[in-house]
Amino acid sequence: MARMSGGVGAAVPELRLEEVSVRHGRRRVVEPLTWVHRAGRIAWLIGENGAGKSSLLRVLAGRMRPATGTVTLLDPAGRSGERIYYRPAMRLPGGVTAGAWARLMERLAGPAAAGAEEPMAVLRPSVPENRLLGRVSTGEAKRTLLEALLRKPAPFVFLDEPYEHLSARARDALTEVLVARAKTAVVVVATNQPIPDAAAGPVVQVDGERAVVIEPEESRWMS
């Protein structure tokens, strides 16, 4: 019997896992998992370092083949191939100015948010145009990468440790962006950080062998 989470009834993007298991080298890190998640709330992958949450996220995002089972992404609008995938190893090219990078992202991902108070604008760091990206802080670089990706209207969003190195204000802005996005898109976030109260959603706990799906109601009394 598949665990089901997220929106019910409405025609929204859906992520469907059927008997999906994940291997890390020769070691199986996730035993067969069957789970359906629909847009509506953010789904969280949690677990210790090395437990397999990043591997599972890579499988969900289509970046890695599962050891067994199938992952299905369904979008009623027919944009199932469009997805966003981010992992912390992604870095900016050091020899490019912030202005040139911003112009490139405008072309590739679309225009940036205009209103200064919008969460997307808060997420975007204010870096002088002529500063080389090799000289921005780690947090500014992460925000630059994430903010550009989140401009893209993909129905599937897979983020691995997006809160790492972010200031409290940027974390709140990111949470606000993701909560809003999760209403119309499947958003799955792998994290080691505490889940923000405003973003409670189904949790997949990975412990290096099994992956257990916990609904927000269950996770509240568990914590």
Token pair belonging to 130 = 């002529």
Q: Is 120 in the site for another protein (CB under 8 A)?
A: yes
Residues in 47-76 at the binding interface with another protein, rule: CB under 8 A: 59-66, 70-74
Q: How far apart are CA 158 and CA 85, in angstroms?
A: 5
Q: Which is nearer to another protein, 77 or 220 (CB)?
A: 77
The CA angle 52-58-64, to the nearest 5 degrees, is 105
Q: Is 97 in the site for another protein (CB under 8 A)?
A: yes
Q: Binding segment for another protein among 27-35, 86-94, 160-168, 214-222 (CB under 8 A)?
A: 86-94
Q: Is-contact 34 17, C-beta < 8 A?
A: yes
Q: Binding segment for another protein among 29-37, 47-55, 78-86, 201-209 (CB under 8 A)?
A: 78-86
Q: Is 151 in the site for another protein (CB under 8 A)?
A: yes
Q: Is 163 in the site for another protein (CB under 8 A)?
A: no
* Residue of 30, 43, 46, 185 that binds another protein (CB under 8 A): 185
Long-range contacts of 190-193 (CB under 8 A, 24+ apart): 190/44, 190/45, 190/46, 190/53, 190/54, 190/56, 190/57, 190/159, 190/160, 190/161, 191/44, 191/45, 191/46, 191/161, 191/162, 191/163, 192/46, 192/49, 192/161, 193/161, 193/163, 193/164
Q: Is 180 in the site for another protein (CB under 8 A)?
A: yes
Q: Is 183 in the site for another protein (CB under 8 A)?
A: yes
Q: How many other CB atoms are there within 10 angstroms of residue 51's CB atom?
A: 23
Report, in Å, the least distance between residue 175 CB and another protein. 11
Question: Residues interacting with another protein, by CB under 8 A?
Answer: 59-66, 70-74, 80-81, 83-87, 89-93, 95-97, 100-101, 103-104, 106-111, 113-115, 118-120, 132, 145, 148-154, 176-177, 180-181, 183-185
